[in-house]
Amino acid sequence: MPARIVLGVGAGVAAYKACELLRLFTEAGHRVRVVPTEDSLRFVGAATWAALSGEPVATSAFADAHDVPHVRLGKEAELVFVAPATADLLARAAAGLADDLLTAILLMARCPVVFAPAMHTEMWEHPATRANVRTLRERGCLVLDPASGRLTGADAGPGRLPEPAELYQAAVRVLARRSAGLAPDLAGRRVVISAGGTREELDPVRFIGNWSSGRQGYALARTAAARGAEVTLVSANVDLAEPAGTKVERVTSACQLQSAMLAAAEGADAVVMAAAVADYRPEARSDKKIKKTGAAPEPLRLVENPDILRELAKGRRPGQVIVGFAAETEDMLAHGRDKLAAKGPDLLVVNRVGRGIAFGTDDNEAVVLAADGSVTPVPQGPKDVLADVVWDLVAARLAGPAGQPGPRGRAGRP
């Protein structure tokens, strides 16, 4: 459903990416009012914003003062999305300053507010910036973690503005939850998600693997970020754009995935093992390409890979929620219940795979089995829908016995 959006633009080089984000908003039918900071016009001019949005552009609350624009825009907005959000802009927003039109709107807005930071790594990691981010999140704002990658010059690291398509997907999810009257129920929570399929090397050119594309794990990550969580995504051999607002760690093999997940799970409120992990790996890896000799090949000796889900469940700390995935081709419920009992997670998502189902597709169908005996069927539909069901079940378990937020839960903006 079309919405009224205020697109705030901070004074950073990444402002050019906001042009594509604006295009995605308008092509979807949303009415967008661009509100840049004065200095941001040094990077992208007012004429560009006006032409792309079809709306007037102003930076000062004194422009068209008779219309009191900061009050009107703040009250009318159904989403305020700031991209890029510079260190200076985050600081002014956290301090509650209202020295230009954008910061005045931020004080007026009672809709969801999303900040997409972009700055050099040292600025993002500075204690002052981290404190400002914590303050904004505590107030119910969604502050996405920046992506890692090339910055200005030769610099690289955390601080890059995520790609416009991923920012747009984050906005879509926030708007959908607002339309449903749902608050960001994972605000203040730390979650860890694995995605993709592991590869076990035979030699420098061959591996044992599976068909997992990582789409379900990435949908879980996007959805958790839109619901306010701090997300770590451990990605195994996935060729997808990094979800906006997540920290991505890339791995290849099951043993690498094991190390990354056990380390990331420390201090996490919820851990979701959505990756497809190879059950076995070669006992030995050849340093050279294995050549045909004309004779029968040597038997391939395999050893069992670690059961990462079982380790996570066994080592869970009090209050931590563990979720596993089980891909089956037959007898889904029977095999699923056996795995739930054997591995010990709180929830097990059982889905049918093979012959064009689940792997590599945009939709999924599953049954979520719980350790308490409950069963939640999820009919075939977009993987985002399954992701929301999983997080609904996780959020309910993270809440107190009366449905009240736990000690780390925070209320969202109205």
> Per-10-residue mean pLDDT for the chain, 414 residues long?
95 97 98 97 97 93 67 92 98 96 95 96 97 95 93 88 96 92 91 97 94 95 95 97 94 98 97 96 93 87 97 96 93 94 97 75 92 95 95 92 41 35
Residue 64, pLDDT score: 66
Q: Topology of 190-398 in CATH?
A: Rossmann fold (3.40.50)
pTM: 0.87
| Euclidean distance between CA atoms 222 and 169, whole angstroms | 8
The residue among 341, 351, 325 whose CA lies nearest residue 193 is 325
The residue among 337, 390, 146 whose CA lies nearest residue 244 is 146
Helix H or strand E segment including 140: none
| Euclidean distance between CA atoms 222 and 272, whole angstroms | 13
Residue 389, pLDDT score: 97
Neighbouring C-beta atoms of residue 59, cutoff 10 Å: 18
Residues marked active site are found at 210
| Euclidean distance between CA atoms 262 and 161, whole angstroms | 28
| Euclidean distance between CA atoms 312 and 319, whole angstroms | 13
* CATH 3.40.50.1950 domain span(s) along the chain: 4-179
Residue 67, pLDDT score: 66
- Type of residue at 205: V
Judge if the upstream peptide bond of residue 158 is cis by omega within 30 degrees of 0.
no
Q: Which distant-in-sequence residues (6+ apart) come within 8 Å of 334 by Cβ?
A: none
Residue 410, pLDDT score: 35
Instruction: Please state the φ and ψ torsions of residue 124, each to the nearest 5 degrees.
Output: -65, -35
Q: What is the dihedral of CA 210, 214, 216, 222, to 10 degrees?
A: 170
- Does the 4-179 domain belong in CATH 3.40.50.1950? yes
* CATH 3.40.50.10300 domain span(s) along the chain: 190-398
Residue 152, pLDDT score: 85
